[in-house]
Amino acid sequence: MVNLNTIPPKNNREYYIAIGLEGSANKLGVGVVKHPRLASHQSGDNSHICKAEILSNIRDTYITPPGEGFLPRDTARHHRNWVTRIIKRAIKEAKLTDPKLDIDVICFTKGPGMGAPLHSVVIAARTISLLWDVPLIGVNHCVGHIEMGREITKAENPVVLYVSGGNTQVIAYSENRYRIFGETLDVAIGNCLDRFARTLKISNAPSPGYNIEQLAKQCKNKDRLIQLPYTVKGMDLSMSGILAYIDSLAKDLFKENKKNKLLFDQETGEGLVTVEDLCYSLQENLFAMLVEITERAMAHVNASQVLIVGGVGSNVRLQEMMAQMCRDRANGRVHATDERFCIDNGVMIAQAGLLQYRMGDVIKDLKDTVVTQKFRTDEVYVSWRE
Amino acid sequence: MNLDHTLKLEIPFEDAKQANIAVDVLKPDPILRPQDFQVSYKARDNVFVAEFESIDDRVLRVGVSNVIDSLKTIIETMDELS
Digit-coded pLDDT (tens) for A162-214: 999 999 999 999 999 999 999 999 999 999 999 999 999 999 999 999 999 99
Asked if the bond preceding A99 is cis, omega within 30° of 0, the reply is no
Tens of pLDDT, residues A317-358: 999 999 999 999 877 899 999 999 999 999 999 999 999 999
DSSP line for A247-314: HHHHHHHHHT-TT-TTTB-TTT--B---HHHHHHHHHHHHHHHHHHHHHHHHHHHT--EEEEESGGGG
User: How many domains in chain B?
Assistant: 1
Residues A253 and A330 in one domain: yes
Compute the distance between CA of residue A160 and CA of residue A172 in angstroms, rounded to an integer. 6
Tens of pLDDT, residues A69-97: 999 999 999 999 999 999 999 999 999 99
Contacts of residue A159, defined as CB under 8 A and 6 or more positions apart, other chains included, come to A170, A171, A172, A181, A294, A297, A298, A301, A303, A305, A306, A307
Contact A119, A82 (CB under 8 A): no
The CATH number of whichever domain residue B30 belongs to comes to 3.30.310.50
Residue A2 falls inside a structural domain: no
User: Does the structure show a pLDDT above 80 at A46?
Assistant: yes
Q: Which residues of A touch B72 (CB under 8 A)?
A: 80
Residue A217 falls inside a structural domain: yes
Which domain does B17 fall in, by range?
A: 5-81
Residues A362 and A317 in one domain: no
The CATH number of whichever domain residue A24 belongs to comes to 3.30.420.40
DSSP state of A184: B
Residues of A with CB under 8 A from a CB of B: 77, 80, 83-85, 87-88, 91, 99, 119-120, 123-124, 126-128, 130-132, 366-367, 369-370
Residues A133 and A30 in one domain: yes
How far CA B12 is from CA of A124, A228, B28, B48, in Å, comes to 19, 62, 21, 6
Sheet holding A177-183: strands in order across?
A177-183, A168-174, A159-163, A305-309, A333-336
pLDDT at position A331 is 79
Compute the distance between CA of residue B29 and CA of residue A183 in angstroms, rounded to an integer. 30
Residues A163 and A293 in one domain: yes
Q: Which residues of B touch A370 (CB under 8 A)?
A: 28-30
Which domain does A334 fall in, by range?
A: 157-341
Compute the distance between CA of residue A206 and CA of residue A212 in angstroms, rounded to an integer. 11
Q: Closest to A83 (Cβ–Cβ): which among B27, B73, B78? A: B73
User: How many domains in chain A?
Assistant: 2
pLDDT at position A1 is 78
Compute the distance between CA of residue A30 and CA of residue A58 in angstroms, rounded to an integer. 5
Contact A84, A28 (CB under 8 A): no
Chain B nearest CA to A371, separation (Å): 8
Amino acid letter, residue A96: L
Residues A161 and A136 in one domain: no
Compute the distance between CA of residue B4 and CA of residue A139 in angstroms, rounded to an integer. 40
Does residue B64 sit in helix, strand or coil?
Answer: helix
Q: Which of A73, A82, A86, A131 to mutate to test the interface with B (most CBs of B within 10 A)?
A: A131
Under 8 Å CB pairs connecting chains A and B tally to 61
Residue A4 falls inside a structural domain: no
Residues A183 and A55 in one domain: no
Residue A46 falls inside a structural domain: yes
Q: Which residue of chain B comes nearest to A130, CA vs CA? A: B21
pLDDT at position B2 is 85
Residues A171 and A78 in one domain: no
Residues A353 and A337 in one domain: no
pLDDT at position A332 is 85
Residues A91 and A135 in one domain: yes
Q: Report the length, in residues, of chain A.
A: 386
Residue A302 falls inside a structural domain: yes
Average pLDDT, chain A: 96
Contact B80 A370 (CB under 8 A): no
How far CA A161 is from CA of A27, A92, A151, A288, A316, in Å, comes to 20, 34, 16, 13, 14
Mean pLDDT throughout A35-61?
Answer: 95
Comparing CA positions, the residue from A39, A146, A181 lying closest to residue A385 is: A146
Residues A243 and A321 in one domain: yes
Q: Which residues of A touch B74 (CB under 8 A)?
A: 123-124, 127
Chain B nearest CA to A367, separation (Å): 5
Q: Which residue of chain A comes nearest to B26, CA vs CA? A: A123
Residue A87 falls inside a structural domain: yes
Residues A161 and A301 in one domain: yes
Residues A124 and A268 in one domain: no
Compute the distance between CA of residue A213 and CA of residue A340 in angstroms, rounded to an integer. 17
User: Does the structure show a pLDDT above 80 at B1?
Assistant: no
